[in-house]
Structure 1
Amino acid sequence: MKKFIDENFLLNNKTAEVLYHQYAKDMPIIDYHCHLPPDQIAEDRNFENLTQVWLYGDHYKWRAMRANGIPEEYITGNKSDWEKFEKWAETVPYTLRNPLYHWTHLELQRYFDVYDILSPATARKIYDECTAKLQTPEYSVRNLLRKMKVVVVATTDDPIDNLAYHQQIKAEGIDLKILPAFRPDKAMHADDLPALVSYICKLEEVAAMPVTDFNSYLAALKSRHDYFAVNGCLVSDHGLEQMYAENYTDEEVEQIFLKIMAAQPLSASEILQFKSAMLYHFAVWDHEKGWVQQYHLGALRNNNSRLLQSLGPDTGWDSIGDFQQGPMLSKFFNRLDSSDQLTKTILYNLNPADNELMATMIGNYNDGSIAGKMQYGSSWWFLDQKDGMIRQMNALSNMGLLSKFVGMLTDSRSFLSFPRHEYFRRLLCNLLGEDVENGELPEDIEWLGKVVKDICFNNAKEYFKF
């Protein structure tokens, strides 16, 4: 009987085994996009129990529990941490063929040396054993990162954040690089005028300058962009339904901004013009500083208005959207490229129908100045699973250079998510191994091993300059 998640998990040929164990397995991790809370890293927090580190804030698990008929009180409600974990353990056996089944057991093995299959029968033993370990110094959040050989983490931070926790971490001089990333989505969210006006007021206070018109708004945001750079930021990130590249004039955007400040309703076209102007200026600033800009495209968010109202955003009510991506991507990048102001860029799609679109779009703007300047990013969110990762790598291989890919990231809020890098690395090695054993690639293990190491770590190190 084949062991579940043995040393050759997902490695279905001998070449894959060699590539993974000799080249990929021990490479360090650069996690260049995640949502880990910097305050917990600054405090070097120890979690009280397995539920807190594993289930709090994890809408992947929440969606699975709801699909399994688990009442909300056991998910985001007021039930005890043990009762919530018990319901997760009840759900896990039913997640077979969902990536959660693999991730759950990889995380138990890699962090806690627990090889039991999680179920109602094993729940108490696993909970108690892992909780006891989590309360020891060896399981503080920094040591959880070290356990997975993580050397760089880029968090996701709003422009008005004071970055105090990043400053605290840097002042300690620890062996982990924890860097901020500039995420200005709220600064351009003209769909919700009250929220945007409130945001502008907070920006005025943080930037210590008045905002009276569009130019002063840009100046205040630029001051925050500069502040992030001083504090080690090298990347920006944008979570968008689609790229915005509508035509606009400076005069039109100025009038739109004055309407925003007066809380006057905007037309659909005015909203698009405002977003387009904001995205353009952010991109120009990124180019000036040599940052990497990232665009996560295609999420249809907040679909369940009833439960959104009671639980808020990022609680599991988002899905894949079917937005048209190509024309605006081309228009946006072409404007920047025409004035030689297009910085290093990573595109992520949520709809798998856009895989080949993204893989070919990046080729339009690779200009030979930097290897892999334009990147087709790793499979994201709902695509962050076996089939999604393989399809993304196949699209990139067929239409670009997989060898120049900057590899995997967690995009996670959990300190236990780093085995996703291992998952990706095993699939990468298996993909290349299959080609060798099918006679589609030469059996040059030294060269293939170098490519594997590059994708796992070296390409990202060179690309981001962390």
Structure 2
Amino acid sequence: MDHVSTPLQLDPDRLLPADPQTRSIARALYESVAQLPIISPHGHVAPSLLMDDEPFSDPAELFITHDHYVTRLLHSAGVDLGALGVGRSAPVDPRHAWRILAENWHLLAGTASGYWLTHELATLFDIRDEPSAETADASYDAIATRLADPAYRPRALFDRFGIEVLATTDDPMDDLSVHAALAADPTFSGRVLPTFRPDAYLDPTAADFRARIARLTEANGTAPDDFAGYLSALEARRAHFVAHGAVSADHGVREPYTVDLSDDEASALYRRAVAGDLDAAGAREFAGNMLLRMAGMSARDGLVMTIHPGVYRNHSSATFDRFGPDTGHDIPITTTYTGNLRPLLERHGLEPGLHLVLFAVDETVYSREVAPLAGFYSSVFIGAPWWFLDAPDAVVRFRSAVTETAGFYRGSGFIDDTRAFLSIPARHDMARRLDSAFLARLVREGRVSPAAAERIVTDLVDALPRKVFKL
């Protein structure tokens, strides 16, 4: 029996309510924001991608190798990550890797990855058939042909996607020369902002902590064991980022623990940390105090403070040893904010200069803690659904969990937080559809007026991210 290809489904009313009347309201709301510019104030696209503007190499490199959403699902089905070219593995034949994805396409059904990839394949590459063993080579060739077209280079796609602002994530010691070059380039009109990411300089358990501190303090002209000099060095690097357009500082901690220590107490812990004799309990206290001090710095220099906690990084030692970090084996853990953040909020929570955006991959914390905190503290904002929760049904649960307590205007707006450049429009389009659907139900139930829904759906895309991230 000859194989019959399955059409790649991209319903124009996808994610909108099934009820015809509610769907009609949702469709009108969505159409009012569908073409608005994309504001992406937190993400992980490398700025060199836009600076170099080189063609993407092949479909596997683009859609598989660096997308741990995809590779982890394939790995769970028994696919060796090495066959996909992940991390530190040896280079692989990209066509073979693409065939593996195509043969296992059914594994992505119902997942956010499957949804986004479908959007990308259909809207960017005009792929009409679902990937499968039979269609793998044809789809690979069709995508590869498009990638050779100058219209598919990063800068051209940046313009095509309608991206107005794109933030990257950067090491504090980065000289930001790429950002400076992009800003000075008259042929590039986009706004690409660095983000200060100091985790490895605040946590004594981080890899190479002592070497990083030595480099940081040397650049500042201070002794490595001088706590005041260490703080001064961090402030200097933050100022360097602000001068290059940064609007935020991001903190990817396992737990959002904070503690208020005196300068003498913190200094004693710091000296032990740089000497290499600080135990785990002391390291937790030091890192917790530094998270609190980062809030103080944000209140003074204006960098928005975002916290991304609750992930057990590199859960599989064997996978880490073979492939390295960010290869799909990071697993969510329980997160609590109310007690952990109270010292920080007691010290800085009422300061007008602080914007504190709280994210979670533990969705139980949204209604229990994040929404109530944002519903009181003017400094606290609700971060968009992140990582394992940036999927259609999870986004709907998020919206239900936070809105009745904090309303629509205590949130950050949607944030894609992705390394996958081509998925950015798919993710933002998904969020706009889901918010339109949510608001349409409230209109149908008589809980929100049509005029209010029209304003809210626009503000979620535009006004809110501008306000929260001080754009």
Q: Same fold (TM over 0.5)?
A: yes
**Equivalent in 356, 360, 379 of residue 345 of structure 1:** 356
Contact kept, 8 Å, 2:117 with 2:423, in 1: the verdict is no
The reply to whether residue 25 of structure 1 matches residue 31 of structure 2 is no
Which TM-score applies when normalising by structure 2? 0.92
Deviates more, 1:149-158 or 1:249-258: 249-258
Give the corresponding residue for 1:278: 290
**Equivalent in 394, 398, 403 of residue 400 of structure 2:** 394
Contact kept, 8 Å, 2:357 with 2:380, in 1: the verdict is yes
Q: Distance in 2 between matches of 1:405 and 1:115?
A: 37
Give the corresponding residue for 2:466: 461
Secondary structure at the aligned position of 1:46 is classed as coil
Deviates more, 1:27-36 or 1:116-125: 116-125
Contact kept, 8 Å, 2:25 with 2:440, in 1: the verdict is yes
Give the corresponding residue for 1:49: 58
Give the corresponding residue for 1:315: 327
Q: Distance in 2 between matches of 1:410 and 1:53?
A: 17
C-alpha displacement at 1:280, in angstroms? 2.1
Give the corresponding residue for 2:438: 431
Give the corresponding residue for 2:93: 80
The amino acid across from 2:399 in the alignment is M
**Equivalent in 90, 107, 111 of residue 98 of structure 1:** 111
Deviates more, 1:67-76 or 1:2-11: 2-11
**Equivalent in 102, 127, 144 of residue 89 of structure 1:** 102
**Equivalent in 166, 169, 174 of residue 179 of structure 2:** 166
Q: Distance in 2 between matches of 1:341 and 1:220?
A: 25
Secondary structure at the aligned position of 2:300 is classed as helix
1:406-429 Cα offsets, whole Å, 9 max, x none, are 311211111111110001111111
The reply to whether residue 375 of structure 1 matches residue 389 of structure 2 is no
Secondary structure at the aligned position of 1:16 is classed as helix
The amino acid across from 1:29 in the alignment is I
The reply to whether residue 108 of structure 1 matches residue 126 of structure 2 is no
**Equivalent in 395, 420, 434 of residue 427 of structure 2:** 420
Q: Distance in 1 between matches of 2:288 and 2:55?
A: 43
The amino acid across from 1:335 in the alignment is R
C-alpha displacement at 1:270, in angstroms? 1.3
Which TM-score applies when normalising by structure 1? 0.93
C-alpha displacement at 1:3, in angstroms? 8.4
Q: Which runs of 5+ in 2 are unaligned?
A: 1-5, 18-22
Give the corresponding residue for 1:176: 190
C-alpha displacement at 1:205, in angstroms? 4.4
Q: Distance in 2 between matches of 1:114 and 1:30?
A: 27
Q: In the superposition, relative to structure 1, how do residues 311 and 200 fare at CA in structure 2: closer, same or farther (>3 Å)? A: same
1:426-452 Cα offsets, whole Å, 9 max, x none, are 11111111222334433x2x4322211
Q: Distance in 2 between matches of 1:89 and 1:349?
A: 32
Secondary structure at the aligned position of 1:293 is classed as strand
Percent identity reads 28
Secondary structure at the aligned position of 1:115 is classed as coil
Q: In the superposition, relative to structure 1, how do residues 130 and 8 fare at CA in structure 2: closer, same or farther (>3 Å)? A: same
Secondary structure at the aligned position of 2:400 is classed as helix
Deviates more, 1:393-402 or 1:328-337: 328-337
Q: In the superposition, relative to structure 1, how do residues 60 and 251 fare at CA in structure 2: closer, same or farther (>3 Å)? A: same
Instruction: Give the length in aligned residue pairs.
Output: 454
Q: Distance in 2 between matches of 1:183 and 1:415?
A: 20
C-alpha displacement at 1:116, in angstroms? 2.3
Q: Which runs of 5+ in 1 are unaligned?
A: 367-372
The reply to whether residue 448 of structure 1 matches residue 444 of structure 2 is no
